[in-house]
Each structure stands twice: as C-alpha cells, then as structure tokens.
Structure 1
C-alpha cells in the first residue's frame, strides 16, 4: 500500500486539474510530491524507493512553471496524457537502466536475502513492464480522446481508472502467483527426490 502513496500527486492532479485550469493541479501535485520526498528521506528511505515521488516532483515543477508562464498553452487540454507520457518514460527508463522502479518499493516488503536474486529482479521487471505498458496505453488513448472529443469526461475517467487499477491489481497478485509456483516446483522437486 505504501508504494501506491507515491501516486498521490498524480491522482490529486487528475482530480483538481481541468482542461481549463491546470495551474492548481500542477501546484498541488508539486507540493504533495515534495512533501512525500522530504518525509521519505527523513524517514531514511533510499532514492530507489522513491522513483515515482521524485519523478513527480520533477514533472510537477516543470508543469507548474509552464502553467504559470503560459496558462493557455496548447498543451493544457492534454494534461492527463502528459502525465502518462511522463510516467511511461519514467517506467520504461527505469527498465532501460535495469533498475525497475518497483524494485526499491519491493525491497521494503521483501526479506533482504531475496533482494539480489534473479527471481526478485525478474518479478519487478515484469511488474514495472506492466505499469509502463499501462502508462503507454493511457498516454496514447488519452491523446486521441482529448484531441477528438475533449469533453468526453466519462471516457477520460474510464481510461485513467482502468489503466491504473489493472496494473495495481496485477502488482498485488503477481508476486503471490510466482511464490505459489516456486513452492509447487520445490514440492515437486522434493517428491521426485524421494
């Protein structure tokens, strides 16, 4: 659950920002992201546990500046798509450098003896890939919907909810599935040795 708190700036931005007024959403996202980073660092969290929060701070700092300098930018209606472009870039980038953004979060919930195992890395690479894919699908879908029907609020909300809920559910379930498979394989191996 703690890992999902890192998405608070993004969620609050989505709630507050509208197509006509994104400044308050950007400022709120920036403030919440900075608070999360400061609180987490003071609590001793490592930077790799705060990839989403740190990414949010950078994104919302840039968006705040843009929204204040040019409040009627042509990008204004594409705020929801921009969020997902940035998140997709963060997730794909973390995979490209072989540091899936979920790795640091997972280390806070897993025993230290598994942190450096190939299986632990692989599970987090798969989970991060699912998030990256969802962000990419959301970015593309939202761009098209916002360009074609900028006031299709129900469709925009549905895209946001589905592309967040699906990877969140996968994140909660996938490690359990992998652990169950490993236990069955171990049990089968033990039975074969007898």
Structure 2
C-alpha cells in the first residue's frame, strides 16, 4: 500500500482547506507533496513511481499562487472538485501516453520478469482506468453538489471517501484476481 502514501498531500488538503479558505490547504498540500518527492527521490525512487506526488507538487504550487492572488475567487468553494479534475487529468493522461501511473508503483512489488509483459501493462492500465473513472466521477458529482448546496459537508465527505475507498479496494483486489486467473490458465 506504499502507493497510497502518494495521496497524502491530497488528503491533507481535504482536511485543512475549507470552502471559504483554501490558501492554507494549498500551502500545506504543497509542503507535504514537496517533502514526499524529496524523500522519495532521496531514497532512490524513480519518477515513474511518484507520478501522483509529482502531480501534487505542480497542482498545489499552482493552487497556492492562485489562492494567494485571488483568495476570494468564485472557484474557492469548488476546491474539492478541482482536486479531482486534476487527478482525473493526471490518470487519463498517463493512460493516453501509455504509461499508467500505477505502473512504476507496481514494478516495486512485482518480479522483474513480468515488468515488460502485456499482461502486467494491461493490469496496470485497468487499475489506472478505475482510478481515473473514480476521479472523474468525484469531480463531476462534487461540482454538482457544491453548485447546488455549497455547504453539504457530509455529502462531500461521503463522495470523497467513496471515490477513494472504492478504487483503493479495487487496487488491492484486482491483482490477486488476475494472479488466480493466470494460475488457472497454467
């Protein structure tokens, strides 16, 4: 579950930022993201293993600048949706360039002999697509909820939790299922 640590900046942002004040959330998310990238790179992790962390640095750097320049922007209440738009863009883009963001993480947990197989690539493409779909669903549903009822805190939390827990659970379950299927084929 090391790969889930990469979501820490996003989780911290979700706790620190509020609908009316996103500056501290952006600054804190940026600090956590930079710290993760520095620690990960210092420990020898490759860039392909820290796609989400690197994406967080870019997002939170931009959001920090924007939140300081335009603290009263009409986008402020849509922070949770914007996070998911960015994450969806990161995930879908990684699929578009045929480098699913889960690939580098998965290589740290799989034997080297499977890294270049089509099956390994497909497994990671499926997992990344599930994350991308979850981020997209979260972005759309959060934007709609926040447009209609900006202070629907409980519903926002439920959407965030479900759209994180479901793909995380799938990420844990799917490789085991794929291994069992491969064993049956052999």
Q: TM-score, normalised by structure 2?
A: 0.99
Structure 1 unaligned spans of 5+? 187-194
User: Do structure 1's residue 81 and structure 2's residue 81 form an aligned pair?
Assistant: yes
What do residues 105-125 of structure 1 show as CA deviations (whole Å, max 9, x unaligned)? Answer: 000110111000000000000
Matches within 5 A, 1:23-42: 23-42=23-42
What do residues 65-90 of structure 1 show as CA deviations (whole Å, max 9, x unaligned)? Answer: 00111111111000000000000000
The match for 1:121 is 121
Matches within 5 A, 1:16-95: 16-95=16-95
The match for 1:175 is 175
What do residues 115-138 of structure 1 show as CA deviations (whole Å, max 9, x unaligned)? Answer: 000000000000000000000000
Larger radius of gyration: 1
Q: Give the Cα separation in 2 of the matches to 1:15 and 1:111.
A: 37
Deviation at 1:185, TM superposition (A): 1.2
Deviation at 1:145, TM superposition (A): 0.2
> Size of the alignment, in residue pairs?
186
Deviation at 1:95, TM superposition (A): 0.1
The match for 2:142 is 142
Q: Give the Cα separation in 2 of the matches to 1:158 and 1:4.
A: 19
Q: Give the Cα separation in 1 of the matches to 2:92 and 2:181.
A: 27
Q: TM-score, normalised by structure 1?
A: 0.95
Local SS of the residue matching 1:109: coil
Structure 2 unaligned spans of 5+? none
